[in-house]
Structure 1
């Protein structure tokens, strides 16, 4: 496979030089290569999505970040349909802004999935066009909502395979699960009437602990004989330590699967800020962050999900400039791309390159081995096993999970034991992309297991892999 050094990739490489974290490997370890990244058009299929939210309120600039979209390597992008932006005059729709986004993203190998939201204040009882706004409630507004949903799905049914209905409905304290269930069913039936093969996504839950809300929602669908109208369940649930979320996520999965075991789970929106708390807004703003801890956190969320068979939408591609009148005001620095004050792109952050490594490597050619569990002499290690289908070579993800990612972390040498195929074992840093030869005196095969000793496992995912399983 040939890789060309384009102007954008040169800019990315030079901008990341000053951001590289200190090496976690011993100075005596030999560097033997570097992970290659791939454009989305060169990747056949994967479970990875990137956030493209808030274009409906003009808080980001698609035309500025679109050239970074393909090289990132995610195969899907989450967009928001923006009823209020489409219909500023009653009964008149302007889809020009989405026409400039949806086909362009698809041409870059990134399939759009569109969230239907928010309210529209030109109608009495139409709800609010902002995060945590209320759904439409009046008969006139609900009829107008139905008409807009019908219009947008009709327009993009051949380009958008998946539709998500609303975002974080539980963030509004006046919403109930019953009310949202009724709203979801009416919307889902319209989508299916226009696009029978559409995949439907619910519910963009802000919390992973509001099981009563979720239970009420599914009870409505059960009574309406509408449980088949959900293909994918999305949730968000930000946590300072991403590994602490999974017990509650598992409770959510078990609840949903009692109603419909065919529902697929997806992390619909998650990411970490890249700046101190005095600068950023949004979730996790009560802690200080840096570009390094953002990259670490994002990697842990992505590969923690992936190892549990959960798809991920990484939030988000560009920093978001929230304006007055919304749920919050200021810059949400969870973007993989740093922005200028006018929302144009200043440069990629360290997390952009880290995400590229994961998106490029963990595609449909790499399969999760759910019945293979790496073990360590340290209980704080998280690990998952994979196999590269073509060569049979193993890939093992490992990281220390005991706390929130830190700017300074000294890896504790650990012994790792796992079943697998390792002809040429190497160690991979997923932030820098550097590949290191593992000294021969630090690994051995014992029966059908491999034992790796004195492995420097940091507080973000690294790989022990067979060299044949990597993009070099």
Structure 2
């Protein structure tokens, strides 16, 4: 019986190897699903047949496990270009591989290449159960297509928007997809909590460790920044999860940077609740278990919009100051919808959205954020609260004014070395210093007015206006005297 089992195992491994050789050809990744089968190691057990449970209790060779199928062709299609981590701004979301269509991913990557080496975050459809489809059986199709041959710096989430769902219990992907598409937010969260990973269960803990270490090891040549989970500050066992994930990541990739799960809020009440939770966690010493702080904030379009952003940043920072924890801060989601009746933002337009691209990125940067990510790039359904936060039209894929304005801010201050807030009372004025020593000012006002900037920059200045409609997608440029610069709600770049 033992001989028969080993013979069958050998055939499975050989077939798996042939399949991998057929899939990875020349310089591209083709559409076939790449199902990686974990090779069983030698066990000390006297059992004649090893089941999944014993396999999962084994001590894996993570290098071999994570790179299975990549050894021979690894240098053919994997980008060797050194990533540029110095860019300040990024995009959250957009690379959702619906039905794992390679052509869709390819098209999106081509579009994003137009934005230079901008930061990217959140692949989508890359949950634990979508990569480890059965215990010890891996499908890297989607993540390989996106990560392996991409020059952009990435933030990948260990546990994404589906929370810390444990995939090998009572969880059903079909049931989960139906709940997401038909139920309200509370019912979705209730389902996630009911099926969440239990770190007190030894088997589930070991499965989670295997998953995290395998995922990080496979992409450690491409990915340096790992976020524990998406908006998981109020999920069950959050402290334990952060501690474990930090240690697991560092064990297999010591140079990696671990980003704490983000505080999130589309309202101040929600955000403040997350701040209170963070306060408790830092009091318990959690500051030793992450490298980068992180939050998400949206806010309604109101008269004190700019003050809302500043107060939010200050509330978040105050908790770190209280506990003497000094960490870089990243805002990995912020956005304004362009929908005229947006549930998220209130009444808006494409012009207002373009204005807020600059205002959000500038204000959070000036407050001290090291990186700021706009949500989002690609499609969002009309039933989603974040509908029309996209930089491109979700129906036609045509770039919106926000897209062109985002390109403009990347060009002007995308790699800034320093920023200073100069004016916040009668109007807003910020000074950015770029790596080459050039200085760019960003200014706007809550009402139309002419301001004298000669104390900051004398003589003639070049004023570049943002793009606010689809008819004129080339930024308007004018040269005027710095003693009389006209400002209104729309930010301008002054040099």
Kept in 2: contact 1:270–1:314 (CA 8 A): yes
Aligned counterpart, 2:249: 191
For structure 2, the residue ranges without an aligned partner over 5 or more in a row are 1-80, 181-187, 468-473
Tell me the CA shift for residue 239 of structure 1: 0.5
Aligned counterpart, 2:128: 83
Q: Which range moves more in the overlay, 197-206 or 214-223?
A: 214-223
Tell me the CA shift for residue 105 of structure 1: 2.8
Aligned counterpart, 1:461: 491
Q: Counterparts of 1:236 and 1:126 in 2: how far apart (Å)?
A: 28
Match status 1:180 vs 2:210: no
Cα distance per residue 1:213-265 (max 9 Å; x no partner): 44544544654x55232221111121123412211220211212333543111
Kept in 1: contact 2:417–2:432 (CA 8 A): yes
Counting helix residues as a fraction of each chain, which structure ranks higher? 2
Match status 1:259 vs 2:337: no
From the superposition, tell whether residues 434 and 317 of structure 1 become closer, same or farther in structure 2 (CA, over 3 Å): same
Q: Counterparts of 1:211 and 1:330 in 2: how far apart (Å)?
A: 20
From the superposition, tell whether residues 105 and 79 of structure 1 become closer, same or farther in structure 2 (CA, over 3 Å): farther
Q: Counterparts of 2:197 and 2:278 in 1: how far apart (Å)?
A: 17
Matches within 5 A, 1:290-305: 290-305=349-364
Corresponding residue pairs, total: 376
Kept in 2: contact 1:205–1:235 (CA 8 A): yes
Match status 1:228 vs 2:288: yes
2:466 paired residue among 430, 433, 443 = 430
Give the match's secondary structure for 1:338.
coil
Tell me the CA shift for residue 312 of structure 1: 0.5
From the superposition, tell whether residues 211 and 412 of structure 1 become closer, same or farther in structure 2 (CA, over 3 Å): closer
Tell me the CA shift for residue 45 of structure 1: 3.1
Cα distance per residue 1:7-34 (max 9 Å; x no partner): xxxxxxxxxxxxxxxxxxxxxxxxxxxx
Tell me the CA shift for residue 197 of structure 1: 0.8
Cα distance per residue 1:101-146 (max 9 Å; x no partner): 012332xxx1111011134464237697877433422624343222
Kept in 2: contact 1:41–1:70 (CA 8 A): no
1:65 paired residue among 93, 102, 108 = 108
Matches within 5 A, 1:29-48: 45-48=86-89
1:383 paired residue among 408, 413, 429 = 429
TM-score normalized with structure 1 length: 0.71
Tell me the CA shift for residue 417 of structure 1: 3.7
Q: Counterparts of 1:264 and 1:156 in 2: how far apart (Å)?
A: 23
Tell me the CA shift for residue 427 of structure 1: 1.5
Aligned counterpart, 1:160: 223
Matches within 5 A, 1:285-364: 287-310=346-369, 311-321=371-381, 332-340=387-395, 346-364=397-415
Give the match's secondary structure for 1:246.
helix
Aligned counterpart, 1:4: none
CA RMSD of aligned residues (A): 3.2
From the superposition, tell whether residues 41 and 305 of structure 1 become closer, same or farther in structure 2 (CA, over 3 Å): farther
Aligned counterpart, 2:157: 115
Aligned counterpart, 1:412: 448
From the superposition, tell whether residues 92 and 59 of structure 1 become closer, same or farther in structure 2 (CA, over 3 Å): closer
From the superposition, tell whether residues 92 and 41 of structure 1 become closer, same or farther in structure 2 (CA, over 3 Å): closer
Aligned counterpart, 1:50: 91
Tell me the CA shift for residue 51 of structure 1: 1.4
For structure 1, the residue ranges without an aligned partner over 5 or more in a row are 1-39, 323-327, 403-410, 444-451, 466-472
Cα distance per residue 1:358-417 (max 9 Å; x no partner): 0122133x44343x6147xxx352221123453x553221122x5xxxxxxxx5123244
Kept in 1: contact 2:413–2:434 (CA 8 A): no
2:418 paired residue among 368, 378, 381 = 368
Cα distance per residue 1:292-329 (max 9 Å; x no partner): 2211122211111222231201111112248xxxxx65
* Rg (Cα) greater in structure: 2
Cα distance per residue 1:134-159 (max 9 Å; x no partner): 34226243432222111100101111
Aligned counterpart, 1:7: none
Kept in 2: contact 1:56–1:82 (CA 8 A): no
Q: Which has the higher contact order (CA 8 A, sep 6+)?
A: 1
Kept in 2: contact 1:232–1:265 (CA 8 A): yes
Aligned counterpart, 1:237: 297
TM-score normalized with structure 2 length: 0.68
